[in-house]
Amino acid sequence: MTEDARDEVDRLVAAWRTERPDLDVEPLQVLSRVSRLAKHLDRARRAAFAEHDLEPWEFDVLTALRRAGKPYELSPGALLRATLVTSGTMTNRIDRLAQAGLVRRRPDPEDRRGVLVSLTETGLARVDAAFSDLLRREHDLLSNLGPTDQRALAGLLRTLLAPFDSPL
């Protein structure tokens, strides 16, 4: 590896190897890079969402509805499972999105006690625009990798993440 190809993680690992030669610091080679990349991704996500006047949590709820397909509608329970938040948090989020005109509630015709949450036309347009912008930014983040390397990295990360995403 040339000096030009070294990154901050290489410097960090070298310092730890000097300071703590008794420890195997090899996990830092991968996980510190994943952590640093996550920070760059978070910045890109926040910028894309802000450009479309959305908070990250709003984007999460709106994209869950968008992925559901027409009529872009889910129960609050399905939304909380998709976004991994509590019932109280989801109720608050739906309320705020409804006040902003991005979603609407309607009675669930199959469950008299239930409601369904759906995207409004404004919500659909906003989430589609934000998602397109996010993908452009994510393509930029990956621009130093060709398609083959991107697929290989995705496969390795999938292997690493699979145990965490398994149902309990």
60 and 39 both lie in a single domain:
no
Residues 3, 64 within the same domain: no
The average confidence (pLDDT) of the chain is: 93
Q: For position 146, what pLDDT does the model report?
A: 96
What value does the mean pLDDT take over residues 151-168?
88
Query: 26 and 90 share a domain?
Result: no
Q: What is the CATH number of the domain that holds 105?
A: 1.10.10.10
- 28 and 94 fall within a common domain: no
Instruction: Place 3 in a pLDDT band, splitting at 50, 70 and 90.
Output: low
Give residue 139's pLDDT band: very low, low, confident or very high (50, 70, 90).
very high
Residue 4 is predicted with a pLDDT of 59
Q: How do residues 39-83 score in pLDDT, each as one tens digit?
A: 999 999 999 999 999 999 999 999 999 999 999 999 999 998 888
Number of domains into which the chain is organized: 2
Same domain membership, residue 70 and residue 43: no
Residues 91 and 144 in one domain: yes
Same domain for 66 and 133?
yes
Asked if residue 44 and residue 14 are part of one domain, the reply reads: yes
Residue 62 has what pLDDT?
Answer: 98
Report the C-alpha gap between 133 and 125 in whole angstroms. 12
The stretch 100-126 carries a mean pLDDT of 94
Query: Does residue 93 share a domain with residue 111?
Result: yes
Structure tokens at 76: 């609050």
Q: Which domain holds residue 30?
A: 1-49
